[in-house]
Amino acid sequence: MKKIAILGSTGSIGTQTLDVVRANKDIRVLALCAGKNIDLLEKQIWEFRPVLAVLWDKDKAMELEMRLKEAKNKSDGRKVPRTQILAGIDGMTAAASLKGVDTVVSAISGMIGIQPAIAAIKSGKDVALANKETIVTAGHIIMPLARRKHVRILPVDSEHSAVFQALNGEDMRTVDKIILTASGGPFRGRKLTELRDIKPEDALKHPNWDMGSKVTIDSSTLVNKGLEVMEARWLFGVDIDQIEVVVQPQSVIHSMVQYRDGSVIAQLGVPDMKLPIQYALYFPQRRPMEGNKLDFAELAKITFEKPDVETFRGLKLGYDAGRIGGSMPTVYNAANEYAVGQFLRGEIKYLDIARTIETCMECHHVVKCPSMNDILQIEADTRARIAAGLW
């Protein structure tokens, strides 16, 4: 019986992870963590009966605890889950290091995922990683720690899972380059003049994938791909310039690895996040999975394009941040997170997202090897500068 903790259980990856749990009868959920979606988390507690549940919001956590107590007092015949309720970063760290957990699914959004991931690794747990920020900003801390603790970082992003699968059994010394694919998002082919008046509802219409709002916006700006380039650099131990991005609009080829002899190994499949989630949970096994499979006769063609890095500057800035290294990826990520929030609230224009990132990067004095405290402080400083309009 595999025992897991899910950080971000009410989000897109978290809910799909629970779909995988439902489809397989040998996974026990010991901990569930969410931001503030108390109603959905409560339903998940009743269904999966974890040992521990965590809400980021302390008041929501207290409300949830009261709901469970009231259910116990009503005595309507249902057996009330004996789930401990905690809150905040301490609660998430407790969930990540919970005794008995084999694998922590890190599906929480943002840099708050870093500390729980470190706690999981220190506790000897494998990490199924869907939180890009953890590796992008703290890869120099996470990966050496994982090696010392002999735990596995198992990628859940479809692109990194594809690379992980294409590298399986191969000698890393024979790798020429990693090729990450991008769908191109909802605005593929458009020019800058056509993007000036984009509204949040337009950017949230991804053509292929069902993702959370922040990741969907990142996909439309190609910032998501910039983050993935930096993530791949740490996950697979390659140089940033060994990573190429190509647009593959059908989202059938999830990524590829080219070897020195010219061979290319690609991983293909329908765009369904449950596949990489299940692969990470059961690696190196492959389990049956219900759902659509690729029909190549129906597909007919697979096409490729170069990404337009002049229009979608988020990708170019991501390469720049990755090449500079040190604390610059933290600035790139923090500026993007804040700017995406502003855009979703209608406070800035769509094209201002990339401008905000670029301006913050230009103003930043790089810390070569930032500590955990440095990373958190630089993130806070970057957000504060944007909020105050200081460049």
Write out pLDDT tens, residues 268-296: 999 899 999 999 999 999 999 998 899 98
Q: Which residues contact 343 (CB under 8 A, 6 or more apart)?
A: 200, 203, 217, 349, 350, 352, 353
Fold designation for 325-391: Rna Polymerase Sigma Factor; Chain: A (1.10.1740)
The rounded percent of the chain whose pLDDT value lies above 90 is: 82
As a whole number, the mean pLDDT across the chain is 93
Q: Is the pTM here over 0.75, yes or no? A: yes
State residue 79's pLDDT score: 86
**For the residues of 10-58, what is the DSSP string, one character each?**
TSHHHHHHHHHHHH-SSEEEEEEEESS-HHHHHHHHHHH--SEEEESSH
Q: What is the pLDDT of residues 62-73, one digit of tens each?
A: 999 999 988 877
**pLDDT the model gives residue 298:** 87
Confidence of residue 179 (pLDDT cuts 50, 70, 90): very high
- Do 325-391 and 2-155 have the same topology in CATH? no
Question: Tens of pLDDT along 86-139?
Answer: 999 999 999 999 999 999 999 998 888 999 999 999 999 999 999 988 999 999
* pLDDT classification of 209: cutoffs 50, 70, 90: low
Domain boundaries, the chain: 2-155, 159-213+222-310, 325-391
Q: What is the pLDDT of residue 205?
A: 73
pLDDT of residue 77 exceeding 80: no
* Distance (Å, whole) CA 289 – CA 306: 33
Give the architecture (CATH level 2) of 2-155: 3-Layer(aba) Sandwich (3.40)
Q: What pLDDT is recorded for position 72? A: 75
pLDDT of residue 33 exceeding 60, the answer is yes
Output phi, psi for 76, to 5 deg. -90, 15
Q: What is the dihedral of CA 276, 7, 141, 266, to 10 degrees?
A: 10
- State the Cα–Cα distance between residues 284 and 286, nearest whole angstrom: 7
